[in-house]
Amino acid sequence: MHHIARLLITSVCCGALLSAVTFAGELGDQVKSPREKSPADRGGKVNQDKGNKAGQDKGNKESPERAKPADQQRRAATPFNERDYGRLKIGPNGPLPADKTRSTEAKEALDTARADLTKALSNTSGNSTFQTENELWRDDNYRSASLSLRRAQAEYDNVRRPIFDMLREDSYYRELAKKQGESERVIQSLVLTGRSSFDYLFPHAMAALEMRKRMTREEIIALAQTPEVEEARQRMLIAAAKVRELRAGYTAQISGSAQASKLKEDLQDARDNVKQAQANLNASQLEEAEYERIRFNYVEEWRRTGTPPTATAAN
List pLDDT tens digits, range 182-194. 999 999 998 888 8
CA distance 306 to 315: 25
Q: What pLDDT, in 10s, does the model give residues 247-271?
A: 888 777 766 666 667 777 888 899 9
> pLDDT tens, 118-131?
888 887 765 555 45
Q: Residue 84 has what pLDDT?
A: 73
Instruction: Quote the distance between the C-alpha of residue 157 and its chain's center.
Output: 49
- Mean of the pLDDT values across residues 137-157? 90
Q: 19-64: per-residue pLDDT in tens?
A: 544 544 554 444 444 444 444 444 444 455 545 554 454 444 444 4
- Provide the pLDDT confidence category of residue 158 given band limits of 50, 70 and 90: very high
Q: What is the pLDDT of residue 36?
A: 46
Does this model's pTM top 0.85? My answer is: no
Question: What per-residue confidence (pLDDT) applies to 9?
Answer: 53
The full DSSP string for 201-267 is: HHHHHHHHHHHHHHHHHHHHHHHHT-HHHHHHHHHHHHHHHHHHHHHHHHHHHHHTSHHHHHHHHHH
What residues contact residue 232 under an 8 Å CB cut-off, 6+ apart?
152, 155, 156, 159
State the first-to-last Cα distance of the chain, in angstroms, to the nearest integer.
122
